[in-house]
Chain A
Amino acid sequence: GAGVSQSPSNKVTEKGKDVELRCDPISGHTALYWYRQSLGQGLEFLIYFQGNSAPDKSGLPSDRFSAERTGGSVSTLTIQRTQQEDSAVYLCASSPRNTGIGNTEAFFGQGTRLTVV
């Protein structure tokens, strides 16, 4: 596609429910990143994919969070048993290759605003 697409754009869920957030990266981009943006906290790194593998999962805040990527394209971030502190904007970014090994930038989607009530 023309840009990084995330869905849904907004999600309100009840505490304790599971949610799935989807990211469609720019076609051909091999690197994909998930971040969490909370007010005044900047962008918190969650996980990074190179192709379908996730070399760096260390940013996931708890074992309730998981992510996968299939076909080197779409990625899904799953939050199980959501808590109120999970409320934030979840951002996805993609780049043609890992920004750490090549001179390239990350392109961001609009984000999914998650509200846990």
Chain B
Amino acid sequence: AQSVSQHNHHVILSEAASLELGCNYSYGGTVNLFWYVQYPGQHLQLLLKYFSGDPLVKGIKGFEAEFIKSKFSFNLRKPSVQWSDTAEYFCAVNALYGNNRLAFGKGNQVVVIP
């Protein structure tokens, strides 16, 4: 079964700083990849997704992620964060034609200081 690793569980940074969150997965086959965000008191919502094609995908609110197949990675980036980006970020992976399980990482708690 696929597994997902997210490092640096707690991230604190100032507004306008750049953000990069790492995501690595373990599965040798074809995958669909997702980043979800959970703002304080809100439900999980999709930030961006990769199914196929251009490995650099752009999502909402200025976020982007790059799929590097050789590294089994799908890192999330934002060049300049805002206070409103304070949230928990989850990477998720679904193996195509595998066990049909959408597997999540443990999440990154990001706090942006004004």
Contact = CB atoms under 8 A, between A and B. Distances in A.
Interface string A85-107: 00000010100001111010111
A42 interface: yes
Nearest to A91: B44
Contacts of A108: 36, 43-45
Interface in B10-56: 32, 34, 36, 42-46, 49, 51-52
A1 interface: no
Contact of A100 (B6, B43, B49, B101): B101
B94 to A, nearest CB: 5
B68 interface: no
Contact of B43 (A41, A105, A109): A109
Nearest to A44: B104
Contacts of B9: 40
Residue among A41, A55, A91, A99 with most chain B CB within 10 A: A99
Nearest to B45: A108
A85 to B, nearest CB: 18
Interface residues of B, number: 29
Given A42-B90, A109-B43, A100 B98 contact: yes
A93 B90 CA distance: 15
A93 B92 CA distance: 13
Nearest to B107: A42
A83 to B, nearest CB: 22
A30 B98 CA distance: 18
B43 A99 contact: no
A85 B95 CA distance: 30
A52 interface: no
Contacts of B95: 100
B103 interface: yes
Contacts of B52: 103
Interface string A8-19: 000000000000
18 contacts: A41-B106, A42-B106, A43-B104, A45-B101, A45-B103, A48-B100, A56-B99, A56-B100, A91-B43, A100-B32, A100-B98, A100-B99, A101-B96, A101-B97, A103-B32, A103-B51, A106-B34, A108-B45
